[in-house]
Chains A and B, each alone.
Chain A
């Protein structure tokens, strides 16, 4: 089975960094989320367009020293459960 491709509705999200964390307001649901790295970076990377985990790792790796091969699936699942990303 092919790896799922994820989409973030970046136009409907407002992020504000607060110390080391980020608060994210999701306009569509009216919900506020407090997220820790690398969740904000994943949302940001998805802003460049839909991507599967491998493509996301490539985008993140180009900007950060990111070694999150296993972590990324867990974070994507959490972001999906929160309604901040969805599968294409």
Chain B
């Protein structure tokens, strides 16, 4: 690869190689302040390559490659190279991670207690976690929660938060401009803008936390809170996990232990202020 960028995110080291400098410049800007992988050794490699050799010059489009490849990892216009790099990093994590049970979930921590927020795409977990991360909680991650198979601790994976559509303006009002990446218009998911987690999230990226509450948020409905039973929580988390099946028995053990130890709530919320209020109530109950 002609160009290369190495970055450590939580416990995972990435090497991103690219045929073009543009996506890597944007990535280096977005991950300013993050360390390089320990010992210079990356766990995963992501390669951004031209679909065909000549496409590097002629209407270039980016194809994502790496240690683990999905056949339909779509080529994107070069202007979306940053998005391609982020998608590639997600893909490598989702397909290749064997050390932890990987949950497609956001997580935040306060007073040593971690909240896991999971749900369908569009449920608002990413935005909620990003907001909490600016309001006194530590953002552990907006996309993947890593559950340690042995200790049951949740490990941070504070990559850049991927803000979509309306969430962009919400966070632009919260965080300083220097932490945002370029606005990527017209992606398959609409407009996207990345936000670098704040200094605390980056500095404490090696520090895990004990899971204390699992939330299934759903945006758009009247405010409501419902306790979710252990069996339903288990089932929903197997669906939210990208590697539960691949892990086999250790994954089963870790997940049953989690759902037996940690309460789960489904929350409906009409606006983010309501959701933040509910989370604060939960925090006080957990601390009591």
Q: Which among B231, B233, B244, B256 has the highest number of chain A CB atoms within 10 Å? A: B231
**Which residue of chain A has its CB nearest to the CB of B252?**
A25
CB of A30 within 8 Å of the partner chain: yes
Whether B248 and A19, one on each chain, are in contact in the complex, defined by CB atoms closer than 8 angstroms, is: no
Whether A23 and B248, one on each chain, are in contact in the complex, defined by CB atoms closer than 8 angstroms, is: no
Counting chain B residues whose Cβ lies within 8 A of the other chain, the interface size class is 10 to 19
Proximity bits, B224-263, A CB within 8 Å = 1, else 0: 0000011101110010000011001100110010011000
Least CB distance from A81 to B in Å reads: 19
**Which residue of chain A has its CB nearest to the CB of B229?**
A19
Whether B256 and A23, one on each chain, are in contact in the complex, defined by CB atoms closer than 8 angstroms, is: yes
Which chain A residues in 26-47 approach chain B with CB under 8 Å? 27, 30, 32, 34
**Which residue of chain A has its CB nearest to the CB of B238?**
A32
Q: Which of B230, B238, B245, B252 contacts A19 (CB 8 A)?
A: B230
CB of A54 within 8 Å of the partner chain: no
Least CB distance from B103 to A in Å reads: 15
In the bound assembly, the distance between CA atoms of A34 and B233 in angstroms comes to: 12
Counting chain A residues whose Cβ lies within 8 A of the other chain, the interface size class is 10 to 19
In the bound assembly, the distance between CA atoms of A64 and B253 in angstroms comes to: 28
Tell me which residues across on chain A come within 8 A of B256, comparing CB atoms.
16, 18, 23
Q: Which of B233, B235, B238, B260 contacts A16 (CB 8 A)?
A: B260
Tell me which residues across on chain A come within 8 A of B253, comparing CB atoms.
14
Whether B252 and A34, one on each chain, are in contact in the complex, defined by CB atoms closer than 8 angstroms, is: no
Whether A34 and B248, one on each chain, are in contact in the complex, defined by CB atoms closer than 8 angstroms, is: no
Whether A19 and B249, one on each chain, are in contact in the complex, defined by CB atoms closer than 8 angstroms, is: no
Whether B249 and A14, one on each chain, are in contact in the complex, defined by CB atoms closer than 8 angstroms, is: yes
Which chain B residues in 18-58 approach chain A with CB under 8 Å? none
Known: A18-B256, A18-B259, A25-B252. A34 touches B235 (CB 8 A): yes
Whether A14 and B229, one on each chain, are in contact in the complex, defined by CB atoms closer than 8 angstroms, is: no
CB of A20 within 8 Å of the partner chain: yes
In the bound assembly, the distance between CA atoms of A16 and B230 in angstroms comes to: 11
A-B contact pairs, 6 of them (CB 8 A): A14-B249, A21-B231, A23-B231, A25-B252, A27-B248, A34-B231
The 7 closest A-B pairs by CB, nearest first: A18-B230, A21-B231, A25-B252, A16-B256, A18-B231, A19-B229, A19-B230
Known: A18-B230, A30-B248, A34-B234. 7 other contacts (CB 8 A): A14-B249, A18-B229, A21-B230, A23-B252, A25-B249, A25-B252, A34-B235
